[in-house]
A and B are shown apart, each in its own frame.
Chain A
Amino acid sequence: MRLSRRRVRAIFRKELREYRRTGSIVVAMLVIPLVFVINPLVAVFGLSASDASSLSHSHALLYLLGIPALVPTIVAAYAVVGERRQGTLEPVLTTPIRSEEFLLGKGLAAFVPSLVVSYVVYAFVLVLIELFANSGVASALVKPPELVAQLLFTPLLAGWSIWIAMAISTRTSDPRTTQQLALLAGLPTVVVTTLIAYGVIPATLGVALASGAVLLVLNRLGWRMVSALFDRERLVSSTK
């Protein structure tokens, strides 16, 4: 099966145009990261040099991996159910688009902004720590291996969250319920990243490699699951 880049791009571009003109989506994508960073940052700014030694054994900033786990759910949850609700799904499905092209376009449109938001927020936090935290605290918090982990795990976590949210979106009829379920589905990922950040799960190279492998497999399974759940007939014929 050959996928058409032009059709994937059409959906992707249409989605980005809609985000730009729907203020609530942009606000929602920014609120979650703010909730994530404000409290920890305030706490970090209050730490003194004496706290640096205890921090050097933790991986506190991995906590920010919760952002790519949650931010994409805001838009991905709306991907199918939203189109259904506004009556735009049927006209799209009457075109030659394949289900996979539609889902890829939708997935990419959730993935790219989420990636940008996650990286920008992470960079922003690093800059604030370097500028305003105690220098000892800053050097204890910012570690090159964590930086690499952040760069590599952000897309994997975002991808997984998108597939879960889109899978829910194909089976529900109410956008609000879908978003709540998708956020709920993203919480286990946040719990795991938090447990790693606070040392309950050791942040070793082995754990990182295993987690990476698991996420790669989950992303592949997620893509297959969403493709299988995307049933044109049910989506256009059923009100449920």
Chain B
Amino acid sequence: MPEDLDAGRAGPALSVRALTKHFGERTAFEDISFEIGYGEVFGFLGPNGAGKTTTVRTLGTLVTPTSGSATVAGIPLVPENGVEIRRRIAIMPESPGLYLHLSVTENLECFADLYETPDARSRIERSLHAVNLAERAHDVCGALSKGLRQRVALARALLSDPEVLFLDEPTTGLDPAAARDVHELIDGLRRRGVTIFLTTHRLEEAERLCDRVAILNTRLRTMGRPDELRDRLFTKSLKVRTLEPLAKAGRVFAGLPAVEGWHEEGPGSYVLVVSDPLVATPAVTRALVAAGADVVSISESRHSLEDIYLELVDHDGETETR
């Protein structure tokens, strides 16, 4: 398995410039640009039909882009470089695609030969150990559960020590326990410095695993660290709860540093729009105490990646229906 993957590498692991793919009249994705560094886990989010899988297939040289350019593992994405690019990457498609009549080891042997991996036997053993499947090496794949098949597919993707690993919806159709196992495996790969391009529509998965995320809905809607996106898209706010409703809330909150506005959500529940929670929170606390209020809680309102995603995707939907 790769230990010092990013040593000696210059430039990004993936660089995409204005990449577009049309299938006839239909647009799979349009004008997408991004860069991913070595060792980064990059989440590619979007609703069904957003173009996530086609993007992976395009970067994996299975599909030819209509326009734009890209480099994958440092190699320009052009048809004549297909073999060389595929040598350096691995793709785990949404469906594991195992030969169900063959054993786990036989499946991996076939792919070790397709990658022409040296010392195939020990690579297979290491891959199986990496996904905790060494005990099931001789089981026929058709007899494995969905979660175990997904692990075999991940072991298969690790056989060639890829520079970039594409995981296309790796937990789709898995029960929560199996999905957690896959998350732990991805987390393990991240700790070892493997560059991962993860497509998913499970937002908690992206939030937990990814250094940066991009949200695609045919076009790239936004990109950044989950906390950056939160800051960029939403105003910061404090949620204040008191035991009894404040008699003169306007007087309590008016003129406090970093408080830009407020509204009452319910009896004894207030939302304060703030420019800096670290400045506003102590000032609000002091003002409430001075006003003799019984404070139950003061908390910063945090938006999840799901809020960001829904905000963008819903906005797209509204724009389309106009």
A residues adjacent to B (C-beta < 8 A): 4, 6-7, 9-11, 13-14, 17-18, 21-22, 86-98, 232-233, 236-237
- Chain A residues with Cβ below 8 Å from B57 are 236-237
Q: Do the beta carbons of A10 and B114 come within 8 Å of each other?
A: yes
Q: Do the beta carbons of A94 and B86 come within 8 Å of each other?
A: yes
Q: Do the beta carbons of B101 and A94 come within 8 Å of each other?
A: no
From A7, A22, A90, B116 is in contact (CB under 8 Å) with: A7
B residues adjacent to A (C-beta < 8 A): 23, 54, 57, 60, 62-64, 83-84, 86-87, 89-91, 93, 95-102, 106, 109-111, 113-116, 153, 156
Q: Do the beta carbons of B86 and A18 come within 8 Å of each other?
A: no
Q: Do the beta carbons of B97 and A88 come within 8 Å of each other?
A: yes
When A9-B113, A10-B114 are in contact, do A88 and B99 touch as well, CB less than 8 Å? yes
- Chain A residues with Cβ below 8 Å from B62 are 90, 93-94, 232-233, 236-237
Best-surrounded residue of B84, B91, B98, B110 (most CB of chain A within 10 A)? B110
Q: Do the beta carbons of B101 and A22 come within 8 Å of each other?
A: yes
Best-surrounded residue of B57, B87, B90 (most CB of chain A within 10 A)? B57
- Chain B residues with Cβ below 8 Å from A88 are 97-99
- Jot down 18 A-B pairs with beta carbons below 8 A, ordered by A: A7-B113, A7-B116, A9-B113, A10-B113, A13-B110, A14-B99, A17-B102, A17-B106, A21-B101, A87-B96, A91-B96, A91-B97, A92-B114, A94-B60, A232-B62, A237-B23, A237-B54, A237-B63
CA distance A159 to B295 in the complex (A): 85
CA distance A232 to B93 in the complex (A): 15
- Chain B residues with Cβ below 8 Å from A14 are 99, 102, 106, 110
- Chain A residues with Cβ below 8 Å from B109 are 10
When A18-B101, A236-B62 are in contact, do A91 and B156 touch as well, CB less than 8 Å? yes
CA distance A14 to B100 in the complex (A): 11
- Chain A residues with Cβ below 8 Å from B96 are 87, 91
The 3 tightest CB contacts between A and B, nearest first, are A10-B113, A95-B114, A21-B101
Please report whether the interface of chain A is mostly helix, strand, loop or mixed according to DSSP.
helix
The smallest C-beta distance from A146 to any residue of chain B, in angstroms, reads 39
- Chain A residues with Cβ below 8 Å from B153 are 91
- Chain A residues with Cβ below 8 Å from B23 are 237
When A91-B156, A232-B62 are in contact, do A4 and B116 touch as well, CB less than 8 Å? yes
Which single residue of chain A is at the shortest CB-CB distance from B56?
A94
The smallest C-beta distance from B308 to any residue of chain A, in angstroms, reads 30
When A4-B116, A91-B156 are in contact, do A17 and B101 touch as well, CB less than 8 Å? yes
